[in-house]
Amino acid sequence: MDILQKLAILGEGAAREHELSAGQSAPACFTPQSGTRPDDRYLRHRNPVLKGAARHLPGGIHVSPVGGGKTVRLLKVLQTNICEFDCFYCEHRAGRDVPRTYVSPEELARTFMMLHRKRFVDGLFLSSGITRKVDTMQERMIQTAEILRTRHQFKGYIHLKILPGASQAAVEQTFRIASRVSLNLEAPTPQHLSRLSARKNFLDDMLTRMVWVKRLKQQYPDRIPAGQITQFVVGAAGETDLDLLAATGRLYGEIGLRRAYFSAFSPVPDTPLDHLSPAPLQRQHRLYQADWLLRFYGFSVPELIFDDRGHLPTAVDPKTAWALGHPEFFPLEVLRSDYEKLLRVPGIGPISAKRIAELRRSAVLTDPRQLTRLGVVMKRAAPYLLLHGRPLTPASSRIKPVQLDLWSPEPI
Is the alpha carbon torsion for 81, 149, 63, 233 positive or negative? positive
* CATH T-level assignment (fold) for domain 3-279: TIM Barrel (3.20.20)
334 vs 385: CA distance, rounded Å: 6
Beta bridge partners, 182, equal 161, 229
252 vs 293: CA distance, rounded Å: 13
- Best CA proximity match to 213, nearest among 185, 255, 164: 255
Residue 341 CA: distances (Å) to CA of 122, 338, 357:
40, 5, 11
CATH 3.20.20.70, the chain: domain bounds: 3-279
For 164-194, write each residue's pLDDT tens digit: 999 999 999 999 999 999 999 999 999 999 9
Residue 251 pLDDT > 70: yes
Angle at 317 between CA 25 and CA 387, to 5 degrees: 155
**Residue-level pLDDT at 12:** 63
CB 91 within 8 A of CB 27: yes
CB 124 within 8 A of CB 159: yes
Least confident of 257-261, 350-354, 401-405: 401-405
Mean pLDDT value across residues 272-283: 96
What is the identity of the amino acid at 265? F
**Residue-level pLDDT at 270:** 93
Least confident of 136-150, 349-363, 390-404: 390-404
CB 392 within 8 A of CB 379: no
- Best CA proximity match to 42, nearest among 63, 12, 72: 63
CATH 1.10.150, the chain: domain bounds: 318-391
From the CB of residue 402, how many other CB atoms can be counted at a distance below 10 Å?
A: 17
State phi, psi for 118 to the nearest 5 degrees: -85, 5
Least confident of 3-7, 285-289, 302-306, 344-348: 3-7
Burial (Cβ within 10 Å: 0-12, 13-18, ≥19) of residue 322: buried
- What percent of the chain is modeled with pLDDT above 90? 72
3-state secondary structure string, 223-235?
A: CCCCCEEEEEEEC
14 pLDDT tier (thresholds 50, 70, 90): low
Residue 286 pLDDT > 50: yes
Residue 399 pLDDT > 70: no
**Residue-level pLDDT at 54:** 44
**Residue-level pLDDT at 44:** 35
316 vs 121: CA distance, rounded Å: 38
**Residue-level pLDDT at 22:** 33
**Residue-level pLDDT at 39:** 34
Q: What does R_g of the chain's alpha carbons equal in angstroms? A: 23
Beta bridge partners, 180, equal 159
CB 10 within 8 A of CB 1: no
Angle at 345 between CA 341 and CA 346, to 5 degrees: 155
**Residue-level pLDDT at 411:** 55
CB 350 within 8 A of CB 296: yes
**Domain 318-391 maps to which CATH number in 1.10.760, 1.10.10, 1.10.150, 3.90.1340?**
1.10.150
